């Protein structure tokens, strides 16, 4: 049985929750509240003290992007992670974008507003503006981020954009981004999340 160590309000955990749900993979979700992430027991699973972590029998993977690569390789090879070298690399571009521009932009603003973290708001806002501008332009000519179908690029990039309002970001001026979020939220087995603006 797959175990997912997560937290209900973690957008990173939601990426994995989405993938597991789309794949219809039976699993157990274990909530790890923030203080428990720094206990010796949890640090033995993830020395970074973060969720999400996926445990699949003897395979332990931390980091939402890495977990998506693992699940795609096992369950949707080619379809979710790229059919050739160029497509695979472009999907990786989006995973890096999720881990950098989105994490330092919309996710950081949310961390400040929702969880009271001490963030440098102008820097986070600049990351968010850059990320949303790029997404809005790309999605003007694409229904999905790569390959004309759902891939792990969409799964990695969408949660913190769907949760952007929690960080004070208005998506009203980003119609292409909004339609993309609606498309994802309309997929069968899409798991709802508190704060996702398309719900």
Ligand X SMILES: N[C@@H](CCC(=O)N[C@@H](CS)C(=O)NCC(=O)O)C(=O)O
As a whole number of angstroms, the distance between CA 72 and CA 50 comes to 22
Cβ at position 162, least distance to ligand X in Å: 14
Q: Which is nearer to ligand X, 111 or 178 (CB)?
A: 111
As a whole number of angstroms, the distance between CA 47 and CA 68 comes to 20
Q: Which is nearer to ligand X, 50 or 178 (CB)?
A: 50
Cβ at position 149, least distance to ligand X in Å: 23
Cβ at position 84, least distance to ligand X in Å: 26
Contacts of 180 (CB under 8 A, 6+ apart): 135, 139, 143, 144, 154, 158
∠ Cα 140 145 146 (to 5°): 120
Cβ at position 10, least distance to ligand X in Å: 4
* Contacts to ligand X by CB under 6 A: 10, 12, 37, 49-52, 63-65, 99
Q: Which is nearer to ligand X, 53 or 178 (CB)?
A: 53
CA nearest 4: which of 20, 40, 193? 20
Q: Which is nearer to ligand X, 47 or 172 (CB)?
A: 47
């Amino acid at each position: 049985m797959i175990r997912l160590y997560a937290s209900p309000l973690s957008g990173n955990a939601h990426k994995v929750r989405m993938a597991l749900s789309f794949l219809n993979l039976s699993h157990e979700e274990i909530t790890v509240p923030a203080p428990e992430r720094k206990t010796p027991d949890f640090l033995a699973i993830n020395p970074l003290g973060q969720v999400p972590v996926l445990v699949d029998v003897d395979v332990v993977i931390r980091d939402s992007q890495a977990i998506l690569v693992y699940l795609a390789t096992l369950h949707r090879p080619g379809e979710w992670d790229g059919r050739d070298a160029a497509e695979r690399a472009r999907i990786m571009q989006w995973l890096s974008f999720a881990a950098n521009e989105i994490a330092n932009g919309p996710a950081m603003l949310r961390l400040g507003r929702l969880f009271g973290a001490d963030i440098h708001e102008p820097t986070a806002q600049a990351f968010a503006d850059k990320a949303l501008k790029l997404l809005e332009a790309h999605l003007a000519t694409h229904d999905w981020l790569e390959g004309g179908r759902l891939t792990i690029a969409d799964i990695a990039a969408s949660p913190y954009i769907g949760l952007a309002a929690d960080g004070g970001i208005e998506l009203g001026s980003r119609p292409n981004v909004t339609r993309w979020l609606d498309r994802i939220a309309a997929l069968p087995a899409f798991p709802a999340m508190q704060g996702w603006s398309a719900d």
